[in-house]
Structure 1
């Protein structure tokens, strides 16, 4: 296994869990120039979002609250899920900055989540997904 790791320089983490009764898969890959994350409850990517930090986290007074800029490369860019997806992208980017203030790579987030109407349930799902991502860093 150690020899394979030397030949394959990408850092990968994968997790699967049941969140609010729904199977959820999370894949994280640290490329040299980007961090790629997939969060799916459908087994595929529905939207792809490119997110960058607006300033270097180590220069911010609070690296966990660094402003970000994100835009959809494809997928649902309007509607209720799009706002939630942008929140995921921004929050993941800010959490990465808080964990590693010298991280500069942008985030590519592939995401496809089942719609949830209840705001309390939506927040609980969000918190669980962010916790799984932060427990599996590739940065």
Structure 2
């Protein structure tokens, strides 16, 4: 799969670019409000790990505790941002894996997430990004 899906949106008044590109062995997702790749984190999960769908009180599927996050490039400037970037990587990967499973994808590719965000309402930006990731992956 070498398809590319991308969008540019305003989230909380901040221009945000989101791009998803599939490769044979992994999927690259870039989320930037700064025009650069930012911190790169790879998310992977064993094929035998079941994926949980969204619960009634959640808008998004629940990330598994079995997700392995590996920093690839760059780093967060604080422990808080490191945790936030890890949350983004785990949630984005989970959305992609759940959507691919619906399409009967045989293998579960690793997801590499690049994140470069400005200071803003973290919760609203997070929900906006996840909503658009879901839309793009369903295209």
**What TM-score do you get using the length of structure 1 for normalisation?**
0.80
- Specify every segment of 5 or more residues in structure 2 that has no aligned partner in the other structure, as ranges: 54-60
- Tell me the matched-pair count: 125
Residues 68/32 of structure 1: CA separation in 2 closer, same or farther (3 Å cut):
same
Q: For residues 109-120 of structure 1, what are the structure 2 equivalents within 5 Å?
A: 109-116=113-120
Confirm or deny: 8 A CA contact 2:5 2:136 kept in the other structure: yes
Alignment partner of 1:37 is 2:29:
yes
Superposition deviation, residue 124 in structure 1: 1.2
- 8 Å CA contact retained: 1:30, 1:138: no
Question: 1:1-139 to 2 correspondence within 5 Å?
Answer: 10-53=2-45, 55-56=46-47, 60=50, 62=52, 64-65=61-62, 66=64, 67-77=66-76, 78-101=78-101, 102=105, 103-116=107-120, 121-137=121-137
Counterparts of 2:74 and 2:133 in 1: how far apart (Å)? 22
**C-alpha contact (below 8 Å) 1:81/1:115 kept by paired residues:** no
User: 2:82, 2:136 → 1: CA distance?
Assistant: 25
Runs of 4+ deviating beyond 2 Å: 61-67, 100-103
Change (3 A) 1:47 1:138: farther
Could you tell me how far 1:115 is from its partner in structure 2?
A: 2.3
Matched residue SS, 1:62: coil
Larger Rg: 1
Distance in 2 (alpha carbons) for counterparts of 1:10 and 1:61: 24
More helix by share: 1
Q: Structure 1: give runs of 5+ residues left out of the alignment.
A: 1-8
Deviation at 1:95, TM superposition (A): 1.2
